[in-house]
Amino acid sequence: MSEGEETNPIVPLSANARRVLGVLVEKAKTTPDNYPMTVAALISGCNQKSNRSPQMSLDENDVLLALDELREHGAAREIQGSGRVNKFRHAAYDWLNLDNPQAAVFTELLLRGPQTQGELRTRASRMYNLADLNAVKSVLDSLIEKDLVEALSPPGRGQTFAHKLYPHEERQYLEARVEKQSAKSSAVPAEQKDAIDQLISRLDAVTSRIDELEERIKQLES
């Protein structure tokens, strides 16, 4: 961290607030015509079936409480929308001191939980083009330096990274889950791991395309 650089202290967020913040940043990048977002649009974005882990089923009250939490920390803002519907926008760039590639990677960690460099490259590239794994590593290193991201497993193939906005109890659960997954994958041959990685990449590309088509349909119907 450079001398004199101002950073905000890490504030753990609830699962609902993390999901809402991730959706706000994602949609600002992928569907700017529908941003800032109404509460109804946020509910749809939080509960969509693709590009989300875990799956959620948030209602209006859940989203409003999450927005209150985010606004309390300065991570989101309410603005006057057209007509009588208020809309919301994120303030993640200022709150967490992020640039565009950092925001793309961090958002994927918010929306999908812990991931490897390869998974992050595939998924975050829909918001910012990451040329190769070295580009992802550079972004992750910068986020680690800001104390926003950490590695959950040792260096090497399949190393997993997570953001640091988890409350303590969730963080402990994640560590246990990653250790269990690592133990299982260690017995899988390298060729099979490559095939699995390729399949995940193809599925991610398909689900991203489905999301784009769903957004276009919503625009046409509105």
Domains and CATH numbers, the chain: 15-96 (1.10.10.10), 100-186 (1.10.10.10)
Give, in degrees to the nearest 5, the angle at Cα 64 between 59 and 66.
Answer: 95
Confidence of residue 218 (pLDDT cuts 50, 70, 90): low
For the cut 70, the answer to whether the pLDDT of residue 211 exceeds it is no
For the cut 50, the answer to whether the pLDDT of residue 4 exceeds it is no
Give, in degrees to the nearest 5, the angle at Cα 50 between 149 and 68.
Answer: 60
Looking at residue 199, what is its pLDDT? Answer: 59
* DSSP structure class, residue 147: T
Give, in degrees to the nearest 5, the angle at Cα 14 between 10 and 19.
Answer: 100
User: What's the rounded mean pLDDT across residues 174-193?
Assistant: 65
Q: What is the pLDDT of residues 32-91, one digit of tens each?
A: 999 999 999 999 999 999 999 999 999 999 999 999 999 999 999 999 766 678 999 999
Give, in degrees to the nearest 5, the angle at Cα 136 between 134 and 140.
Answer: 115
Give the integer Cα–Cα distance in Å for 104 and 123: 9
How many H helices and E strands in the chain?
9, 5
Give the integer Cα–Cα distance in Å for 68 and 61: 11
Looking at residue 14, what is its pLDDT? Answer: 96
User: What's the rounded mean pLDDT across residues 161-177?
Assistant: 86
Looking at residue 204, what is its pLDDT? Answer: 60
Order of all β-strands in the sheet with 149-151 = 115-116, 160-163, 149-151
Confidence of residue 170 (pLDDT cuts 50, 70, 90): confident
Give the integer Cα–Cα distance in Å for 26 and 84: 25
- Given the DSSP bridges, would you call strands 76-79 and 87-90 parallel, antiparallel or unpaired? antiparallel
User: What's the rounded mean pLDDT across residues 203-218?
Assistant: 62
Q: Is-above-0.85 flag for pTM?
A: no
For the cut 50, the answer to whether the pLDDT of residue 195 exceeds it is yes
For residues 26 and 211, the model is more confident at 26
